[in-house]
Structure 1
Amino acid sequence: MSEINAIEVPKWGLSMEEGTVTGWRVSEGTSFRKGDLLCEVETSKITNELEAPFDGLLRRIVAQPGETLPVGGVLAVSAAETVSDAEIEDFLSSRGAPPALAEAPDPAEVAAPAGARPSAAAPPPAAPPAPKPGASSGSTVVPESLQGQTSGEVFTTPHALKLAAQLTIDLDKVTGTGRAGRVSVEDVHNAIRAAGGSVAAPAPPARSGLPGRSSQDDSEVNATPVARRLAGNLGINLHDCRATGSRGRVCEADVREAERKFGLVTASPEASSDAEIPVEFETVAFDSMRKAIGQRLQASKRDAPHFRLTADLEIDELLALRKQINATVPSVKLSVNDFIVKACGAALLKVPEVNVQFDEQTQSVRRYTHADVSVAVALPSGLITPIVRETDTRSLASVSEEMHSLVTRAKSGTLTPEEFQGGTFTVSNLGMFGVREFDAIINPPQAAILAVGSGDQRPVVVNGEVVPRTVLTVTLSCDHRVIDGALGASFLAELKRFVESPALMLV
């Protein structure tokens, strides 16, 4: 067989599990060179452009826009022009990927994977005893001219081959209309009719009488066990259900929606008499980013024993230094958050036991030499945490410049996985929204996160007198498996020292 290469979903980053195709840059039949852009694949956080890993000719696009595949899943097939479509179908079958069909699917074929050309060494299943010429199977009458045994070289679908064996039809006498002359069940039916026979009418769908119900075999529809059991009890075909569950599966909510659509829900007299006025609403499905956020933070909240420490930081000197730097250095525009990020990097260097990641699998702690501070950035579709690498070694101007660059690329969706995956500590600041204080959930595998509120004028007692001070409240959430209370308090003490004496961050 000639060389056939699969183009697969790559693994961008340690936490990537699947990717969704958002668009193709090349079409079938187009040649490409190594490094050319083939398609765009959306991960849980960003959209990546997939570059060709080799030179080739795109013969088959397997994953259409909107389809989600796991890492390593087959996106497309590259092969020379001399490679037949049958060889490509065999290749896809061996990889477990469904090959594309040119013909419209027959109701009997929808549930079965597309088959490949049988090998001469592997003859088709033995047929049952041949009926007399003109015999029928049910109400299907097969003319004598089509009777016979099929050779092993006919390119056919599994269901067409099975049907031919049941009816003792020679598929050599049937003209295939599919890709590369592939014979389908519909082709068998058409041949029977053309030869003067008759085809049994398909069985009516369950609970017939309702318009729009499917009669197709739904045994191969990707659905959760609960959804499949519920659909069987209600007599609902899974083909009639939208698939909005994880990994494109039909879930219980999809079956319930189909139940309502077909009017299978009967309200009791009491319920109908007390029925409320319907409320209009819009159902918004989770995108990949929102799913990833939900899964990761749910796991963090469940698995990491959080405890929290709160401290008030006086930032009057910080504000004065910020004003002076911004006024005297035209190219620098520092924010309060830039100072907080830099102060966290400096404090992590002083308390390295907080500058860690926790490895769930090995139950061990990774302690890092430099502070890689992640900063939460709000996007329309969720949150992303770009990382200011080696914050402890950077100047305030460098921290500010890097933050501006990361935030810009985060909002445009052009961050690379290395720029938002990992990190040793996270800062989440909601002070610009007027939030005074809040708790944040730890971003695994990190062991701590700092929630930063707004800086407000508050009365403070100094030397027995009440004076106004600008006070900012921060809350440190810690993973108690890694960080104890005294250790978290030591970090907050160092952070307070750097924030309230900001000149320490300049030396």
Structure 2
Amino acid sequence: MPTEILMPALSPTMEEGTLAKWLVKEGDTVSSGDIIAEIETDKATMEFEAVDEGTVGKILIGEGTEGVKVNTPIAILLDEGESADDIGSGAAAPAPAPAAQPAADAKAAPEGVAATPAPAAPKAADGGRIFASPLARRIAAQKGVDLAAVKGSGPHGRVVKADVENAQPGAAAAPASAPAAAPAAAAPAAMASGPSTDLVLKTYEGRPFEEVKLDGMRKTIAARLTEAKQSVPHFYLRRDIQLDALLKFRGQLNAQLEGRGVKLSVNDFIIKACALALQQVPDANAVWAGDRVLRFEKSDVAVAVAIEGGLFTPVLQDADTKSLSALSSQMKDLAARARDRKLAPHEYQGGSFAISNLGMFGVDNFDAIINPPHAAILAVGAGVKKPIVGKDGELAVGTVMSVTLSVDHRVIDGALGANLLQAIKDNLENPMVMLA
């Protein structure tokens, strides 16, 4: 029986993507693990591996198609002995998008499947979706195997044919009993929105302009940061940090490391200072998790990287335990691959704290928006020459950098945030301590 290849979920938050490029054509034979397509998510272009073997019988979604929903059939895979004649008319091509349906019909079958509704995707024990190939699902149904109990050996833990065949047959998962009716929850306050598209277009009638289509990344940035700004209770803490000792120490280190091809940036020191500060003020090394706070043992620090059309925030895991040279090397690698949109999801997801540095653009100071579920983000301005009053009242000229810590008040209160910012300041103004 022909097997549908479905649009994959390449990250936990992916709902749709662009089928950027097919690397196979109809008639090609593929094996499990072969790269068959490139998929653009809201953040990156990623390779899509086949999880079953067979012959590509029909490609349903063409290259360059945008907005392909996760689990939409994108191609048909034929088993040995099957031909294109075995492909049913219901799976021959994706169905056109249906007209808007009433709420009661909101769970209609996805585009491109036969008229007979498919069973709901099984859920893992923790309520998450189970990732399994279509062939594995079909065999599991035939053998009465509960996919929730099968450990996947495919890419990213996906359950494949061999996993189901090796599983012990058992009773299919019993349907969950209908839950007791819960009291209706109060509807969340609607997010404030700007003027409608029609109104904006009408406002600028007669003026020359260009309409720029939003890609997936820009849509995601717009949605997430609008939600963050409106739903996260931000407050802001500001400090000036003297950089003269750090700049001198950096120059000495770079002279020593030149033979190894290592050149430390000020940003490398900032990453290290923040990572250590999260250890020095451990209650601030946390994220907001809906109805609880998660506190972390290690310091995983995200750093904003500007790319064409948007930004990435790659995460440096265990930054508190890594040397400055290791952080510098890793940051350069992550930034380069971010600009090429070649980061894997695990490289830009997670972390509890973020850094956004606009100092290289000459910005003195700014306020950054927290990226949930993070509890804080440090906005870093440029180092500029300013008059400094010494301990004995004498005046001098020094290099001063202004920083602003944006804090989620649900996780970090004012005094705790002040302690965290003080620790960051102390680390940067006494850089040799960071090597201890």
Calculate the TM-score normalised by the size of structure 1: 0.63
**Cα displacement (A) at 1:414:** 1.2
Partner of 2:228: 300
Answering whether residue 338 of structure 2 is matched by residue 338 of structure 1, we say: no
Amino acid at match of 1:50: F
- Please list the CA deviations of residues 128-169 of structure 1 after superposition, one character each: whole Å capped at 9, or x if unmatched: xxxxxxxxxxxxxxxxxxxxxxxxxxxxxxxxxxxxxxxxxx
Match of 1:470 among 374, 399, 420: 399
Residue type of the alignment partner of 1:353:
D
Q: 1:354–1:276: structure 2 CA closer, same or farther, 3 Å change rule?
A: closer
Match of 1:399 in 2: 327
- 1:495 matched to 2:402: no
Residue 213 of structure 2: SS of its match in structure 1?
coil
**Which residue, 281, 287, 292 being the options, matches 1:357?**
287
Residues 1:54 and 2:52 aligned together: yes
Q: What displacement does 1:403 show?
A: 0.5
Alignment partner of 2:241: what SS?
strand
Q: What is the alpha-carbon distance in structure 1 between the residues aligned to residue 305 and residue 66 of structure 2?
A: 28
Partners of 1:313 and 1:24 in 2: how far apart?
51
Show the counterpart of 1:75.
74
Checking the alignment, whether the CA contact within 8 Å between 1:355 and 1:368 is kept in structure 2 is yes
Q: Distance in 1 between matches of 2:11 and 2:352?
A: 16
If asked which structure has higher relative contact order (CA below 8 Å, sep 6+), I would say 2
Residues 333 and 115 of structure 1: is their aligned pair in 2 closer, same or farther, counting only changes over 3 Å? closer
Structure 2 residue 409 is the aligned partner of structure 1 residue 480 = yes
Distance 1:357 1:59, change over 3 A: same
In structure 2, C-alpha distance between the alignment counterparts of 1:114 and 1:55, rounded to whole Å: 21
Report the alpha carbon displacement of residue 20 of structure 1 after superposing the two structures with TM: 1.0
Tell me which of 241, 246, 252 is aligned to 1:318. Answer: 246
The amino acid of 2:220's aligned partner reads A
CA displacement at 1:23 relative to structure 2: 1.2
Provide the rounded CA distance (Å) in 1 between the counterparts of 2:315 and 2:61: 32
Tell me how far apart the structure 2 counterparts of residues 417 and 353 of structure 1 sit (CA, whole Å): 27
**1 CA distance for matches of 2:113 and 2:49?**
31
Cα separation, 1, equivalents of 2:311 and 2:341: 12
CA contact 2:91–2:113 (8 Å) conserved in 1: no
Aligned to 1:200: none
In 1, the alpha carbon distance for the partners of 2:416 and 2:115 equals: 67
Residue 381 of structure 2: aligned partner? 453
Identity level (%):
44
Q: Match for 2:10: what amino acid?
A: W
Instruction: From the superposition, tell whether residues 25 and 490 of structure 1 become closer, same or farther in structure 2 (CA, over 3 Å).
Output: same
What SS does structure 2 have at the residue aligned with 1:505? helix
* Pair 19,400 (structure 1): closer, same or farther in 2 beyond 3 Å: same
8 Å contact from structure 1 (residues 19, 42) kept in 2: yes
Q: Distance in 1 between matches of 2:197 and 2:7?
A: 29
The match for 1:421 among 343, 349, 353 is 349
Does structure 1 residue 291 correspond to structure 2 residue 288? no
CA–CA separation in structure 2 for the residues paired with 1:115 and 1:314: 63
Letter in 2 for 1:312: D
Task: Give 1:356 shift.
Answer: 1.2
Q: Is the 8 A contact 2:235 2:408 kept in 1?
A: yes
- Taking a change above 3 Å as real, the CA distance of residues 316 and 22 of structure 1, as seen in their structure-2 partners, is same
2:284 maps to a residue whose letter is: V
Opposite residue 299 of structure 1, the aligned amino acid is E
Aligned twin of 1:190: none
* Structure 2 residue identity aligned to 1:355: N
CA contact (8 A) 2:2 2:86 kept: no
| Structure-2 separation of matches of 1:323 and 1:373 | 24
Q: Which residue in 2 is equivalent to 1:169?
A: none
* Counterparts in 2 of 1:254 and 1:98: CA distance versus 1, 3 Å: farther
- Structure 1 position 31, deviation (Å): 1.4
Instruction: Tell me which residue corresponds to 2:358.
Output: 430
Question: Offset of 1:411 from its aligned partner?
Answer: 1.1
Q: What corresponds to 1:98 in structure 2?
A: 95
Match of 1:184 in 2: none
Q: What are the Cα deviations for residues 306-347 of structure 1, in whole angstroms up to 9, with x where unaligned?
A: 000001111110000100011111122000000000000000
Q: Which residue of 2 aligns with 1:160?
A: none
Query: Quick one: distance in 2 between partners of 1:467 and 1:21?
Result: 59
1:12, distance to aligned residue in structure 2 (A): 2.1
Change (3 A) 1:89 1:352: farther
Q: Paired residue for 1:385, among 313, 319, 327?
A: 313
Contact kept, 8 Å, 1:13 with 1:421, in 2: the verdict is no
Partners of 1:67 and 1:443 lie apart in 2 by 26
How far does the alpha carbon of each residue in 1:461-481 deviate from its partner, in whole angstroms, 9 at most, with x for none?
Answer: 111111111111110000111
Q: For residues 484 and 276 of structure 1, do their structure 2 counterparts lie closer, same or farther at Cα, with a shift above 3 Å needed?
A: closer
How many residues matched?
A: 339
- Alignment partner, residue 246 of structure 1: none
The alpha carbon displacement at 1:304 in A equals: 0.3
The alignment partner of 1:14 has SS state of coil
Q: In the alignment, is the contact (CA less than 8 A) between 1:92 and 1:98 conserved in 2?
A: no
Tell me by how many angstroms 1:11 deviates: 2.0
Q: Secondary structure at the match of 1:391?
A: coil
Verify the 8 A CA contact 2:18 2:67 in the aligned structure 1. Answer: yes
Question: What is the RMSD computed on CA atoms of the aligned residues?
Answer: 2.7
**Stretch of structure 1 that moved more, 384-393 or 80-89:** 80-89
What is residue 20 of structure 1 aligned with on the other side?
18
Aligned equivalents of 1:276, 1:387: Cα separation in 2 = 41
Aligned-partner Cα distance in 2 for 1:337–1:419: 19
Q: What is the distance in 2 between the residues matched to 1:395 and 1:49?
A: 32
Q: Which shifted more, 472-481 or 349-358?
A: 349-358
- Structure 1 pair 382–82 and aligned structure 2 pair: CA distance change class (3 A): same
Structure 2 CA distance for partners of 1:116 and 1:437, relative to 1, 3 Å? closer
Query: Matched residues in 2 for 1:485 and 1:45: separation?
Result: 33
Is the 1:9–1:73 contact (alpha carbons within 8 Å) kept by the matching residues of 2?
yes
* 1:114/1:439 CA distance change after superposition, 3 Å: closer
**Contact 1:373–1:427 at 8 Å: present in 2 too?**
yes
> What secondary structure sits across from 1:392 in the alignment?
coil
Q: Do the aligned residues in 2 keep the contact of 1:86 with 1:117 (CA within 8 Å)?
A: no
Q: 1:276 to 1:391 in 2, by over 3 A?
A: closer
Structure 1 distance, partners of 2:246, 2:372, is 31
How far 1:253 moved relative to its partner? 5.3
| Superposed counterparts of 1:367-382, under 5 Å | 367-382=295-310
Report deviation, 1:489: 0.0
**2:89 aligned with 1:89:** yes
Q: Structure 2 CA distance, aligned partners of 1:116 and 1:292?
A: 31
